[in-house]
Structure formats: structure tokens, C-alpha cells
Amino acid sequence: MNIGQAAKASGVSQRMIRHYEAIGLIPKATRRDSGYRDYDEREVHMLRFIGRARDLGFPISEIGQLVALWQDGDRASGEVKALALARAAEMERKEHELRAMRKSLEDLARRCAGGDRPDCPILDDLAIGVEHVSLRCAKEKG
């Protein structure tokens, strides 16, 4: 099947298929006499695997490891489990960060009158953050 058909069958966009080939995540597709890429069911299955791994939040580097483990019939499932648990822990860390950011924004929005007056605790807070970064950069340079 051509790249459009492979994209439809796998749920991975044509652009991402080309990208995965370019970075070596998947082998380069064979080419027809016309120059078009040609994919078989095995390659589409690999694209589905990669798409599912992306859906679960794995970065490309870890997906490469997962593909290698998936293709290795002598693999230890403990390696796969370790990758999954590490990814889950990273997601939990990010989840905590997102919750903290949301709470900060909600707090700032509560303190903002939101009327026609120019004073705004949201902008004040953002400006304070910029001042802290500027001071830190100045200290690092000096």
C-alpha cells in the first residue's frame, strides 16, 4: 500500500511516517518503480504500535527502545515494565506541576477585579517573575 493508505490504516499521519523513516525509528519503505513508498501489513502494524506508544505519552527515544524490545523475542519483560513505570512517574510529576500552575492562575484570577481599572495582579505577578529572571541572569553574568 502507498503512504496514504498506510497512514489511514495505521492512524499515523503521512508526515509522521516520513519523519519516523528519516530518524530511523522505522526502516525506510521499499520504493515502487514509480518512486512511491510501498508498505506492507507488517510495517502498518509497527506504525500502529508506535502510534499507541505516542498516545500513552512515550517520547520518540523511548519508543525506539520499545520497538527494539517488541521485536526481540528474548527480551525481559522487566525492561518494558521499567520503561512504563518510569513514564508513569514522569506523567505524575508533570501532573503535579500542571495542577500547581492551574491553582496559581486561578488564585491570580480571583485577585483580579477584571473591571476597567488598569491595575492587574496577574500582570504584576508575571512582571515580578521577569524581574527575578533578569536579576538571576545579571548575577550569573557578574
pLDDT for the residue 130: 61
What's the maximum distance between 2 C-alpha atoms anywhere in the chain? 69
**pLDDT single digits (tens) 51-104:** 999 999 999 999 999 999 999 999 999 999 999 999 999 999 999 999 999 999
Whether the CB-CB separation of 49 and 69 falls below 8 Å is answered with no
What type of residue sits at position 5?
Answer: Q
Q: How far is CA 76 from the centre of its chain?
A: 26
Residues 102-119: what's their mean pLDDT? 89
Whole-number pLDDT of residue 140: 66
Which of 12-26, 41-55, 107-121 has the lowest average pLDDT?
Answer: 107-121
H/E element holding 31?
strand 30-31
Residue 120 confidence (pLDDT): 87
CA–CA separation, 9 and 45 (whole Å): 9
| Residue 135 pLDDT greater than 70, yes or no | no
pLDDT score of 114:
85
For 3-75, CATH number out of 2.60.120.260, 1.10.8.350, 3.30.1370.60, 1.10.1660.10 equals 1.10.1660.10
pLDDT band at 139 (very low <50, low <70, confident <90, very high): low
